[in-house]
Amino acid sequence: MAYLAALISGLLAAISFPTIVAGRHLPNLSWLAWVALVPYWVGIRESRGRLLAFSTFLLGLFWNGLTSYWIFNALYFNGQLSWPASLGVLAFMSVTMGALLALFVCFGLSLSRRFRLPAVLVFPAIWVFYECFRNYAPFGGYPWSNLGYSQASWLTLLQSADLFGVYGISFLVVLVNVVIGEVLDSWIHRRRMPRQPVFAAIALLLAFLGYGVWRLRQVEASVSRAPQLAVGVLQPNIGQQMKWKTDLNDYIQGLLFKMTQDAIAQGADFVIWPESSLPTALPLGLTNLPAMSGFSAPVLLGALSLQQNPLLTRPMLYNSAVQVDAGGRLAGRLHKQHLVPLGEYVPLKDLLWFVEPIVPRIGDFRTLIPKELLRVHGHPYGVVICYEDLFPEISRNFTRMGATFLVNITNDAWYGDSSQLEQHLNFSRET
């Protein structure tokens, strides 16, 4: 029964995030995150050894696999990898994440029992340690679907992320799950209901919400006094299979140019293109783009930056955000700092040898840490590219450098009509 309960919890945790099944969007089920782990907790609260380890593994396997199934879409439909290899990559990632969760939970709960610490408080802390760890490893970090991200639509609760990050929200969500599980287990076995954890969970939830109400009022007052900048955001909807067809370069560039002119005509002071939207690579030493000299407002575009190196057989590529000022002058670039594993590089190449064929097609990308911010109309800002918005340290560094706002540009066409698109949008709101 513990195994079945773990599978149910994994499913409930997965669908608490935006979910698309066979092209159909499920309704907002974010409330499920507050009870998703209850079956698992009731099933394992007194368990040890193999039962605890395998139940936790199944929970992590289902939760991570179901929220990241779109990895298969990217590799098979757009990466041109075979379906067994694409499925193997998804399975490898899901198994790894499930095994890590089992390792953290088994080790953490064993310590709590040894030192007689209350499991109801220790388990949420273990969960947060696990989420923090996967911000950095494996594969350079894969923090997709941290449980706190499920609450992105609850704006009042979301405000606490500026104090504790998404991890604080994850702690609260897991704590409420465990407390509900304890109450349910007490009712089933007709034992005395634990009151202190219940009061602690209620008090913490009210504190988070109280802070959120106060913070929202503060933000609204600050926004009303802030200088205004009219921004035009372009969404050209170029399919991934169309993107790098050279015979479509003129069409894609013409579409973006027309959309830019339309945005400026409607009053945009600043126009933003998507990630890697320019269909040609820009040499790093380039200082001017004559083709864009006709725009009367600055444009932030996504493009590949290219640098030749005589010591290498292939040019060095960077995924970049490039600001082009009025007149076509390149005002600055920021390069992607955290690459997508199995998309922009292959981690553990010796182990994942079967993924290597995708790399020549996409490019083996490099990273560069920014030394200065971009600036538009006197406002310094930073750019997080694609899923860099999942790594809070990147956004935090831009803020410390003096950024007054952040821009995220992304190309999610890789993932087709999958849950990834809405999930990514939600996750970006919490970092």
Catalytic residue numbers read 275, 336, 386
Q: In whole angstroms, give the CA distance from residue 357 to residue 40.
A: 40
Name the residue among 238, 246, 316, 325 with its Cα closest to residue 280: 246
Residues 6+ apart with CB under 8 A from 376: 229, 269, 270, 298, 300, 323
* Alpha carbon distances (Å) from 304 to 32, 90, 152, 321, 323: 40, 27, 31, 8, 13
Contact 291, 328 (CB under 8 A): yes
